[in-house]
A = this chain, B = another copy of it.
Amino acid sequence: MAHKIAILGASGYTGAEMVRLVSTHPNMEIVALTADRKAGQSMAQVFPHLRHLDLPLLVKIGEVDFSGVDLVVCALPHATSQSVISALPRDMKVVDLSADFRLRDAAAYEKWYGQPHSAMDLQAEAVYGLPEFYRDQIREARIVACTGCNAATGQFALRPLIGAGVIDLDDIIIDLKAAVSGAGRSLKENLLHAELSEGYHAYGVGGVHRHLGEFDQEFSLIAGRPVSVQFTPHLIPANRGILATIYVSGDAQTVHDTLAQAYADEPFLQVLPFGEHPSTRHVRGSNFVHIGVVGDRRPGRTIVIAALDNLTKGSSGMAMQNANLMLGEEETTGLMLAPVFP
């Protein structure tokens, strides 16, 4: 029998991507979709690309009958998420796509998100939702906080290297290039086609991007001491994709071998042959991550490049992977879709 899924905040891009993925999952069924400002509309009105699907109307969260729901995917903005999730039945499984339950430390949350956390009791229940590294805890978790898309990309490249001690922990630079859908469907001038197309630029320069909170938490945890990376994201005129070019001190071959070994059995994490490196176009629309390692001409300097689709592996695909784990499904079910190229 199909697991019954409710998606809260279904009028954004991650909500739509979640519906896309559930629609071909053999054992999941969408029973509720919410969107406060678009309540009463059909999903086909908000996202005409989903018009072939037989979906419930968009409603307000208060109108959802959660008694028949097996799992909630919460695709709401941070801060909203914590209050909404707090109000859900206390035994409801939740996959949260917001930033609200990613940081274990209340002070860190307040530092990066500019306001106190109002549901630290729930935070204690939450598991950091990077499935390749928290698989066992996710299986048992009630609340799973999906990793930020940029944070996930950097971690796929770096976690095994930090864990194995093969790179200098004080000399890590992540230069990241993100496509625009990661910014969501919000009406901002810099997201207009006329502004972005044929233009690209950095943002959050100097160590102020919020995903640094996740890097700091996770890398320090792995290393057993504070790790503080440099991180500069850039906005690129493309719809989907994240490419992280990472500069580390360490032997290139060792770096490659460490990653290849760590991910040998991971279905979604593809380490390319030594010396090759990825392109975002080869992961688009899929749950795969391509990782490449190249040695620099300067001995002891290595470049690691990771690519994924921010809406799939970076958000809703990761959410589906987590949902599969939480519901006792095969982790890859519904997620082995090949990338869409060109």
Contacts and interface: CB of A to CB of B under 8 A. Distances in A.
Given A16-B341, A202-B277, A193 B185 contact: no
A115 B163 CA distance: 44
B13 A194 contact: yes
Contact of A207 (B193, B236, B275, B296): B296
How big is the A interface, by class? 35 or more
So how many copies of this chain end up in the complex?
4
A207 B298 contact: yes
Contacts of A2: none
A282 B198 contact: no
A284 B301 CA distance: 34
Interface stretch (A70-78, A121-129, A152-160, A172-180): A172-180
A293 to B, nearest CB: 10
A24 interface: yes
Contacts of A201: 243, 277-281, 307
B23 A338 contact: yes
Q: Which of A49, A234, A245, A275 has the most CB of B within 10 A?
A: A49
A139 interface: no
Contacts of A311: 342
A175 B48 CA distance: 23
A296 B202 CA distance: 13
Given A48-B282, A49-B341, A285-B285, A177 B191 contact: no
A5 B340 CA distance: 20
A172 B339 CA distance: 36
Interface in A299-326: 301, 303, 305, 307, 311
B245 A195 contact: no
Contacts of A187: 187-189, 192
A205 B297 contact: no
12 contacts: A13-B194, A47-B341, A48-B278, A193-B197, A194-B342, A198-B198, A199-B341, A201-B279, A205-B294, A228-B297, A230-B303, A237-B238
